[in-house]
Amino acid sequence: MGTGTGGRRRRPPRGSAAHSLAEALCGLRQVSHPNVDTFTALSGLSPVRVRLVESGLVAPDRPTLTAYLETCAPNPATRERLRGLWSLSASTRPQPTPPTQVVPPMADEPARRPKPHARPTPTPAWPDPNAVDTVAAFTSAMETIKVGTGLSYADLAQATRANGHPLARSTVHALCTRVKLPTTARGLTCFIEVCGGTPDQVEAWRTTWDRLTRADSARPSPIPPTPTPRRAPWRTSVLWAAAAMTTNVLTAVLVKTGVV
């Protein structure tokens, strides 16, 4: 499995051992267990891992291959073919970079300490959909679920294609960051499924989405402020002209009477 620019996973080239292995595992699972939920319950694999493996985005490790063979119980010939494809694809994978060796310090050079490895971020628990009562809390919960998968927005978008309801990367990103409810429940359902949600969790989040959607539509629209009436420009000109005329007449009267 290759990795593109920015760490984005790519499908293996058609005809390669990795591509043939992904297709063979997908076909084996569809014949023995067409329902993904049934297969995941029997094999112990997560739904998101099954979809990524069968789409070729993630290379199956030995425990994953063993789970497929034990759950689907293929004939001996198919079993040997799958093991051969797995060994061939494993031999073509990029090998991990060996750890950096610490160079002994010189006599006048202080000892160099190896940099500590970053601790893995613990996977957060799924939020409770019944406790989500605002659109902002809903968006935050979607981001928490996404972080728990350890996948990027692009990886999740590719997983939705394998799930049969493709979502664009921008749609997945908006679902997790934009304080706005998704327009349809189908997109939400597909997102929850590829993140590893169970049917009960899918139904619970659809119920929360429906509750928030109805509450948002029932909220009255804000009344726009009443605009202040503006005086017409010609009226202002007339008033200034009348004031000037009154001032001239009053000045003339005062001059004539000798007051000024």
- CATH number at 52 reads 1.10.260.40
Helix (H, G, I), strand (E, B) or coil at 236: helix
Same domain, 87 and 133: no
Q: Is residue 260 part of a domain?
A: no
Beta bridge partners of 10: 2
If phi > 0 it is left, if psi is from -120 to 50 it is alpha, else beta; for residue 252 that is: alpha
Other CB atoms within 10 Å distance of the CB of residue 245: 10
Q: Is residue 190 part of a domain?
A: yes
Instruction: Determine the straight-line distance between the first and last CA of the chain, rounded to whole angstroms.
Output: 102
Q: Is residue 250 part of a domain?
A: no
Structure tokens at 82: 């799958």
Are the C-beta atoms of residues 65 and 83 closer than 8 Å to each other?
Answer: yes
Q: Is residue 74 part of a domain?
A: yes
Domain count, the chain: 2
Residues 194-205 pLDDT 10s? 888 889 999 999
Q: Determine the pLDDT at residue 224.
A: 66
Q: What's 138's domain CATH number? A: 1.10.260
pLDDT at 97 over 90: no
Final residue in a domain of this structure, among 76, 91, 106? 91
Q: Is residue 252 part of a domain?
A: no
pLDDT at 61 over 60: yes
Parent domain of 56: 8-91
Q: Is residue 246 part of a domain?
A: no
Task: Give the type of residue at 175.
Answer: L
- Binned at pLDDT 50, 70 and 90, residue 206 comes out as very high
Q: Which residues contact 254 (CB under 8 A, 6 or more apart)?
A: 260
Q: How far apart are CA 45 and CA 64, in angstroms?
A: 7
Q: Is residue 103 part of a domain?
A: no
Q: How far apart are CA 114 and CA 171, in angstroms?
A: 42
Q: Determine the pLDDT at residue 117.
A: 40
Q: Is residue 229 part of a domain?
A: no
Q: Determine the pLDDT at residue 210.
A: 92
